[in-house]
Chains A and B, each alone.
Chain A
Amino acid sequence: MKTTDSFGRPLVAVTGMGVVTSLGQGKKDNWRALTGGQSGIHPITRFPTDHLATTISGMVDFLPESSRGASALTFALADSAAEEAIGEAGFSTSDFGGPLFLAAPPVELDWHNRLRLYAQSDRANGWRSLIEAARKASERALFDESQFAAIADRLAEKYGTRGLPITLSTACASGATAIQLGTEAIRRGECERALAIGADGSATAEALIRFSLLSALSTQNERPEKASKPFSKDRDGFVLAEGSGALVLESLENALARGAEILGIIRGCGEKADDFHRTRSKPDGSPAIAAVRAALSDAGMSEDEIGYVNAHGTSTPENDKMEHLSLSTVFGERMRTIPISSNKSMIGHTLSAAGAVEAVFSILTMRENTIPPTINYENPDPAIELDVVPNVKREAEVASVLSNSFGFGGQNTCLVMAREAG
């Protein structure tokens, strides 16, 4: 089997995957729920919802760390997915031996800790009192919570990844960027394998309020499982969610030599930044179009080789319209017949984790010959003519997938994955 791509670069295989979403922990539970058209969206119980316009989410509430703040939960989510992925790949879970690329949310001192410190202070001098209380408390855990390096540092320590771990954010495209960075490092010959993780446990009250103030969230609280309805006419925003996805990336040559099972191939990655607006995309869709084309070109593949699109599909009025426009531009008339579905209809938008979570599901889609549905597709948007695999899963041979990730700040990243090396 050839182990380099059409550009002579090492092909990059996926040899291990792990995932956690509101649907459950691990690939097995997630895949069963996802193909069963089950929603993980539920009423918020982690904090009171008084005064909030949105009272539902896809939070991960079943881990011991679920109530211990964003940093603790983000670590726990990454940890769980990493352990599953490295275990499947058959590498040591204490001496992985390749670099770590972690997509994670920006961190901040948790409000509960901020309030606790202030209550301990003399309160006479505002923020000065708070800082003084912080210094006197001298709690390493609180310091870690404020450090952007801390989560990756802990993961690197636990799994024995190599070198300085990279934590990154490209907003809602972060998970895809982590995979891209790992893929590029292997292509440059810097490493034989890399661990790419997207993890996000940052659904705090403040995070919810911030997105809410930007009118980004669905307020269809009455029936939580129905709120995320990508490509539907009555979609009104995304559903904030948590989760993690981890992938062991490995040069195909190395994976074959050690007899590892090849779960899929990362064929191409493409990106293009948008300079139009901080939260809205350029009306002509040109950056998203360029990102899709860049991914295809990086994969050395043509448009007609894509068999399925794992949509960004957030269920915001803007994204779904834009995604349709850009895909129709790239794929032309054929776009009406290429199956496309949004995992977010069931798991919500896992933000920094989304690109990685959805890459795991994309590869499972190819391996299991089953396309997960877009649920809640009861009221199609007539302006969006797509085969969204409505409401029920579909058995189908899928040889290659395009997975889209678009984010605030003009971030557009697309991945092309395939079953075979091509």
Chain B
Amino acid sequence: MNPTDVLITGIGVVSSLGLGADAHWQALTRREPMPALDLERFSPYIVHPLPEIDWSTQIPKRGDQRQMETWQRLGTYTAGLALEDAGIKDDEALCASMDMIIAAGGGERDVAVDQAILDASLTRNDNDVLLNEKLTTELRPTLFLAQLSNLLAGNISIVHKVTGSSRTFMGEDGAGVSAIETAAARIRSGQSAHLLVGAAFQTEHPDMLLAYELGGYLQREKWSPVWQRNKDLGGGVITGSGAAFLVLESREHAEKRGRTPYAAIGPVASGRARRKDTDLQKDLAAMLAPLQQDVRPVLAISGASGAHAPTAAERAALESAGAVVRGFNTLTGHLKEAQFPFAVALAALAVRHGQAYPAFDPSSEKPFESAPKAALATAIGYDCFEGMGLIVEA
């Protein structure tokens, strides 16, 4: 017990499974949790779509909603859930002194404008002039702001008045790891007393799928659990839209406010394995070793993406260390920057309830009978960068 222990006092999560921490706990502890899938809209790709969301419950001004596309709305909405859950929302003083670290990619491009350019390019041979002509006349001026990576944070400042500081990390799964790791380090060192950290990913846009498929990472045609992806159907990743935000506080700060925490963030490790040259399983085992506690088995909330090689390496590393895995991407799809924040949120819920999730994929995941006092959260990037953290009782 230390006054600068890092406590999780607010959770906001959104995925195809529902809205908020309670809805996720309910959905994920059902005997046979079911994925929500959209097989048509982006076929041959499958996505876990967003549930219906009434944005106005967290973004009351129409004008604010109009300035954003779905990715920023989703992040701003979910940040609001976390702030509300922590009892900080609408507390002007707490929000104004609250630090913020967001992991972000880019926002949505205008599909119609882009397609018009692609189509026109087939009948002309002056593509550069064509770009100028179309982009100057057809782009909505405010769309740029809806695309800018740091404008998710910007919108959270505007809508929720979180203005202590604002930093946006970029870089897919790894950015989510760095965001949590840096946030926890700030609290432990006394650099922050309370902090909002999280990410959102909106996969329901052709460009979001394109970015994966440039590297051949997606699975086509058929859904299967994250541990059973089929090499004949592509690279193994099935994506989902979702977001996860956490309110982190020092123990001292949380106690002063009389808040009951979900859990505490213990050690967090991150790395950049040279995957081409080294054995990722060994690297992950080395990363895991110092995080291990004596209690066996360990519940591991895994952000394995389904990408064949890293998913196999992670599973082998975790199981060799005696962990019982729960691969949540089976039910949510890959959430990119939000993977690690989401894993930490699910781990914290399990620790708080003193109950493990039933197997998300009973043919690949073992039962976990005891009450977990700690849970491991992982995010091994589908292409690069790795991280894991131990979530413990507060």
Contacts and interface: CB of A to CB of B under 8 A. Distances in A.
B383 A210 contact: no
Interface in A39-53: 47-53
Given A50-B132, A142-B214, A188-B185, A409 B206 contact: no
A131 B122 CA distance: 17
A170 B206 contact: no
B150 A411 contact: yes
B190 to A, nearest CB: 9
B77 interface: no
Given A48-B128, A48-B132, A209-B136, A166 B165 contact: no
B174 interface: yes
Interface residues of B, number: 81
A418 to B, nearest CB: 21
A299 to B, nearest CB: 15
Contacts of A409: 145, 148, 150-151, 153-155, 157, 166
A118 interface: yes
Given A140-B215, A273-B153, A410-B157, A164 B385 contact: yes
Interface in A112-164: 112, 114-115, 118-119, 123, 126-128, 130-131, 134-135, 137-140, 142-143, 145-149, 152-153, 156-157, 163-164
B217 to A, nearest CB: 8
B309 interface: no
B171 A149 contact: yes
Interface stretch (B18-26, B252-260, B267-275, B323-331): B267-275
Contacts of A190: 185
Contacts of A258: none
A146 B109 CA distance: 13
Interface of A: 47-53, 104, 106-109, 111-112, 114-115, 118-119, 123, 126-128, 130-131, 134-135, 137-140, 142-143, 145-149, 152-153, 156-157, 163-171, 177, 181, 184, 187-188, 190, 205-206, 209-214, 271-279, 287, 407-411
Given A147-B383, A184-B191, 18 more contacts: A47-B132, A52-B132, A109-B211, A118-B118, A119-B121, A131-B213, A134-B213, A143-B211, A149-B171, A149-B174, A168-B169, A169-B170, A212-B136, A276-B158, A278-B67, A287-B163, A408-B151, A409-B155
Question: What are the nearest 3 A-B pairs in CB distance?
Answer: A409-B154, A149-B171, A143-B215
Interface of B: 45, 67, 100, 104-106, 109, 111, 114-115, 117-118, 121-122, 126-129, 131-133, 135-137, 139, 141-142, 144-145, 147-151, 153-155, 157-158, 161-172, 174-175, 177-178, 182, 185-186, 189, 191, 206-207, 209-211, 213-216, 218, 234, 270-272, 274, 381, 383-387
